[in-house]
Amino acid sequence: MTRRSILGTAATVGAAAAPLGVATAAGAASPAAVESGIELPAATGDMAPFRLSISDSTLRDLQRRLAATRFPERETVHDGSQGVQLDRMRGLVDWWRTRYDWRRLETRLNAFGQFRTQIDGLGIHFLHVRSRHTGAIPVVLTHGWPGSVVEFLDVIRPLTDPTAFGGSAADAFHIVVPSLPGFGFSDKPTATGWNVERIARAWAQLMTRLGYRRWLAQGGDFGGSVTHELAKLGPAGLAGIHLNFFPVFQPPVSDPPTPEEQEALAKLQRFFNDGAGFVYQQSTRPQTVGYGLTDSPAGQAAWILEKFVEWSDSDGRPEQVIGTDRILDDIMLYWLSGTAASSARIYWEDARAAATGDEFAVPVGFTVFPGEIVPTPRVWAERVYQSQLVYFNKVDRGGHFAAFEQPEIFTEEVRRFARLFR
């Protein structure tokens, strides 16, 4: 049976660096260059720092495209059941044109410290922030689709410097936040094969290359699938994983299902009946997805905004929980890097990946956020991870984009899990 995540199945139940756009002296621009003219410095085996510096002409082109947006007619219903509503989309495009400031995010990303390195022939972009506290434990945080490294920006400082946020130095972490292949400022694969197992192996190599001998991993959405795969691989140095998403194709349901399982199964069925159109498209025709979204910023924004509306714990108002600017921060990483097709291909890869074993080599922690697409019953986690499940908790707020929606709760959950390993 093909191994696929719940969201990836078509079945039913440092040193100065060159700015972005300028190749380094090490070689020509990487294959991640896109039609907009943005190019990434070629990645090598070194941990090469670089600074984002998107050209004014690229930002002017975005403004031109937004101003020329051709909107469809108004929906024929009074809710979002046909997709992102016209008034909401007009409002987002107007905000994007008149109020959004890309340079704010660019400055923030550069302040954290960004790097690129070549692993398994592909340039991988990542943030790397070391803690000043002795005894900090490294953790790699992995995003999914339609997420990005910006999901984790509000948790980096509390995790690396807990004393500055009312915490204890004993809870400090060194943070690594990579962009998945084909996402953000990582290279776009030019051949097939970059499934979650291969990405997990790349992450293990990344942590080794950074010099970490003992580390943790955390993830949600496809980041959860990668992290889940890491727990199966059990690479040297990996001490444990923490998840906020259940990346199992077929949940191990009781016979008969418990009331909690019945509720979860009903939500899963609703998702596939009414919310999985993007899954079928991206797992079968990712290239077709790319044409429209790469050419239209409004199209790219609608494709992503819909998921924040439906998957966040916000009663359909993610702008109030996450913030319009922060939602646009995430959208901008897709638009500027031209990764609509390459990011969608992770679904295509996942739908075709061979099944792997069911044994887990390291301890597993799990946090259930109530607004998740399918909140995971504890019995499912216990049956999948068995004796390796060492931490399980349900929190009272937050959804699919846990770190983005509730950074304080997310931070505390990662701290609580990591205390088992200090």
- List per-residue pLDDT tens for the chain, 422 residues long: 333 544 444 343 433 333 343 333 233 444 444 444 577 888 999 999 989 999 999 999 999 999 999 999 999 999 999 999 999 999 999 999 999 999 999 999 999 999 999 999 999 999 999 999 999 999 999 999 999 999 999 999 999 999 999 999 999 999 999 999 999 999 999 999 999 999 999 999 999 999 999 999 999 999 999 999 999 999 999 999 999 999 997 899 999 999 999 999 999 999 999 999 999 999 999 999 999 999 999 999 999 999 999 999 999 999 999 999 999 999 999 999 999 999 999 999 999 998 888 899 999 999 999 999 999 999 999 999 999 999 999 999 999 999 999 999 999 999 999 999 99
| Strand 173-178 to 122-129 pairing | antiparallel
Active-site residue, 221 included: yes
Answer whether 0.85 is exceeded by the pTM.
yes
Active-site residue, 347 included: yes
Helix then strand then coil, in percent of the chain rounded to 5, is 45, 15, 40
Annotated active-site residue in 100, 212, 334, 347: 347
User: If you ran DSSP here, which 8-state letter would residue 187 be given?
Assistant: P
Note the pLDDT of residue 250: 86
Euclidean distance between CA atoms 134 and 323, whole angstroms: 35
Separate counts of helices (H) and strands (E) for the chain: 16, 9
DSSP secondary structure of 286-319: HHHHHHHHHH-HHHHHHHHHHHHHHHSSSTT-HH
CA dihedral 237→197→178→275, nearest 10 degrees, is -130
CA dihedral 173→131→208→223, nearest 10 degrees, is 50
Annotated active-site residue in 125, 174, 228, 400: 400
Which class in CATH covers the domain with range 6-13+43-70+81-421?
A: alpha beta
Annotated active-site residue in 187, 221, 313, 330: 221
Euclidean distance between CA atoms 104 and 319, whole angstroms: 18
DSSP secondary structure of 87-129: HHHHHHHHHHHHT--HHHHHHHHHHH-EEEEEETTEEEEEEEE
Say which residue the tokens 């943070």 belong to.
175
Active-site residue, 330 included: no
Tokens (6 digits) for 275: 């919310």
Euclidean distance between CA atoms 419 and 216, whole angstroms: 11
Note the pLDDT of residue 32: 41
Q: Which of 405, 269, 298, 289 is nearest to 84 (CA)?
A: 298
Euclidean distance between CA atoms 235 and 201, whole angstroms: 8
